[in-house]
Amino acid sequence: MAEPTLHPIEQTSLRVQVAERLRTAIITGKLRPGDALTETALAEQLNVSRAPVREAIQDLENDGLVETVAYRGKRVKPLTVREVSEIREMRQHFEVMAVQRILDQGTGVVELWAPCRAMEEAAAQGDRDALIAADEAFHRTMIRLSDNQLLAQLWAGLYLRILQIMSLRNDQNVDLTDIAGTHPPIVRALESGDAEGAVRLVSEHFDALASFDPATIAGDPK
């Protein structure tokens, strides 16, 4: 019997859909650190029963985006000043390593120009969410081009929190054009084989992330 050329369409479970909706709300800052997650209210907003909401919240707790507070229930996990600093530091280590591997292997980086253009268009339109999505695509592509599977796994686990921090930072009247403008110089340095320049630019990129007071987005003062 011939192998079928078409595979059955798989419906995404409500649990997965709800988890993705809530995850997006958290990492884009629509649900803020410390916000309570009430099953009944969320179920009503999403027009679903409480069961998939409960399951989705558990998934987000496994992701490290949600926590349980005794006698109070679930909430978006607050960001501490220390956590913001450590996440920024780890991101810098990961992406400097990616830059060095790309240059050592002579990997082409033409794919990085598409998210650069998307960021410029989003900035011109004042579309913060689109800029954040394009920014993620830029860094995800750079990590992939480094061709290190373990690095990609570790970076992916960290990046949910990175996106959340970026979203909250960008709420603070940050110039979207400035954010978009920090990326093309990195690509040009990689294309020219300028290792020192590429590492410096990537490092400065993260310094910009720390140019605001982390306490303003930390949900826990400790």
- Residue 222's pLDDT is what? 44
**What are the tokens at 205?**
């990129």
This prediction has a pTM of 0.77
For residue range 153-168, list pLDDT tens digits in order: 999 888 888 888 877 7
Structure confidence at residue 216 (pLDDT): 64
Ranges under pLDDT 70 in the chain:
1-12, 170-173, 207-222
In this prediction, residue 221 carries a pLDDT of: 44
CA distances from 55 to 19, 66, 74, 132 (A): 8, 12, 12, 27
- Listed residue (93, 186, 92, 84) closest to 138, CA to CA: 186
Statement: 14-76 belongs to CATH 1.10.10.10:
yes
Q: Candidates 3.50.50.100, 3.40.630.20, 3.50.50.60, 1.20.120.530; correct CATH number of 82-216? A: 1.20.120.530
Close Cβ partners of 96 (under 8 Å, ≥ 6 residues apart): 199, 202, 203
Residue type (1 letter), 153: Q
**What's the pLDDT tens digit per position in 166-185?**
777 766 567 889 889 999 99
**Domain limits of the chain?**
14-76, 82-216
d(Cα 211, Cα 194) in Å, to the nearest integer?
A: 26
- Tell me the DSSP string of the chain: -PPPSS-PPPPPPHHHHHHHHHHHHHHTTSSPTT-B--HHHHHHHHTS-HHHHHHHHHHHHHHTSEEEETTTEEEEPPPPHHHHHHHHHHHHHHHHHHHHHHHHHT---GGGHHHHHHHHHHHHHT-HHHHHHHHHHHHHHHHHHTT-HHHHHHHHHHHHHHHHHHHHHHTTT--HHHHHHTSHHHHHHHHTT-HHHHHHHHHHHHHHHTSS-GGGT-SS--
